[in-house]
Structure 1
Amino acid sequence: MTAAALIVEAVIHLQLAANYQLAAPAGIGQGNLFRIEAAAAVLAALWVLVSGSQAAYAAALSVAAGGLGAVLLYRYYQVPAFGPIPSMYEPLWYFKKNVTAVAEATATVTALIGFLLVRQSAPSRAANH
């Protein structure tokens, strides 16, 4: 579930990236930040699928929670540009943004559960070996 939600997030970020980059074509731009987020989500999803380790779930949690935090922050607050990060205020919801937020929330919750379950089961696995 965590990996699937991260992949949904990545696909939508990649779909939206080109249009968001138009606001700052020569700079880092929101489109490039979307591409970075998508790459991080794909890598975290693959790591969860391949290893299922506590570290993989921690990475997935940080990617998903960071994405969710960003979408909520920039939806409700007009944060000014700082350094190479542009102002990304967008005070509206639309279908793909809603889907991304739900996917990020799902990945956040399931990654946290995975992190806690792997942590709890680690001592019992060590005792069996």
Structure 2
Amino acid sequence: MSAFTTFLLVASCGGLGAVTRFVLNTSIQRLWNKAFPLSTFVINVIATFCAGIAAAAYAYQTVDHGTYLLFVTGFLGGFSTFSTAINEMVSLARKERFGMAAAYCAATIVVPLICVTLGWLCIAAAQ
């Protein structure tokens, strides 16, 4: 596969990830109207769990490099949104919701680490 073809495939997968994020984000926000930014949190939790699965699958050679690249760099790169999470933390702090901003910051760091580990363990247990 040529570098240009890879570029186009990664870009396409990134677009699919972004559209998936938009649909999920919009759906959650319709149901959740509280100050805690649940939609971004859920999206990043799903993304990190999937990244753990993908990393383990690649490490155990159950997927090839191309598939890993398209899924992780492309789809999950477009789907996950840690920059939005940081922006939401700053927004909460500016509104003087310091406790919620701190809790969201801690949850945004700790929970994804747990999720990526759980994703990895799902594949490792199957090996």
TM-score by length of 1: 0.34
Higher helix fraction (1 or 2)? 2
TM-score by length of 2: 0.34
Which protein has greater RCO, CA pairs closer than 8 Å, 6+ apart?
A: 2
